[in-house]
Amino acid sequence: MIDVRTFDSLGGANHGWLDAKHHFSFADYHDPKRVHHGALRVWNDDTIAAGTGFPPHPHADMEIITYVREGAITHQDSLGNKGRTEAGDVQVMSAGTGIRHSEYNLEPGVTKIFQIWIIPNKRGEGPAWGAKPFPKGDRSGKFVALASGFADDGDALPIRTDARVLGATLKAGETAEYAIGADRKGYLVPSSGKVEVNGVALNTRDGAAIQDEAVIRVKALEDAELVLVDAAEL
């Protein structure tokens, strides 16, 4: 079953410096039918104006993955970590027992990100942060794990949950498959392009909540960049 959540149907708010769209209930947006999808709790589509960002604020007990769609985001946290993550690359933060961080767009133009929160299955551990480049050519025509709670995904950034965040780039007419298993939850968003997911059409920045599907088969109707979360049931 695939539940399409069109971009126009998403919750959100425009704060001037931040234009935020929410695939799931977040902040002042609440939809009882869109609270979580398995362990996936948040998928925010944020456009951040130049020279602005999120001042220091706390998190705990959440795995937070940031996929940069355009521009770059600069991170600083209470552990002393600092880093700049560019378009196509990924940063992860395991909030653990507690961390404070800031995220700013220090670039001359807008920065666009997907920020994804996944409920952890390990608690009581110290916080951690990491970032890594993922060249788009390495995921051409296939799904590649960007962040993962599985030890076998050695090239992915580690997260403390039974989940994967994957990326793929497809040329128009190309197809990629991911064997998720019918007992897991998938959520797929095209960062760019139009695709079909198991025959269901999806436009840029639409979301597809996937369940009871053993295989996710994506056909690109035009050049596309995809982000997919494979998450366990709660």
CB count, 10 Å around CB of 35? 11
CA dihedral 106→107→108→112, nearest 10 degrees, is: -110
- Does the pTM exceed 0.95? yes
Give which of 179, 182, 177, 147 is closest to 162, Cα–Cα. Answer: 147
Query: Kindly report the CA angle at 197 between 171 and 9, in degrees rounded to 5?
Result: 105
pLDDT tens, the chain, 234 aa long: 999 999 999 999 999 999 999 999 999 999 999 999 999 999 999 999 999 999 999 999 999 999 999 999 999 999 999 999 999 999 999 999 999 999 999 999 999 999 999 999 989 999 999 999 998 889 999 999 999 999 999 899 999 999 999 999 999 999 999 999 999 999 999 999 999 999 999 999 999 999 999 999 999 999 999 999 999 998
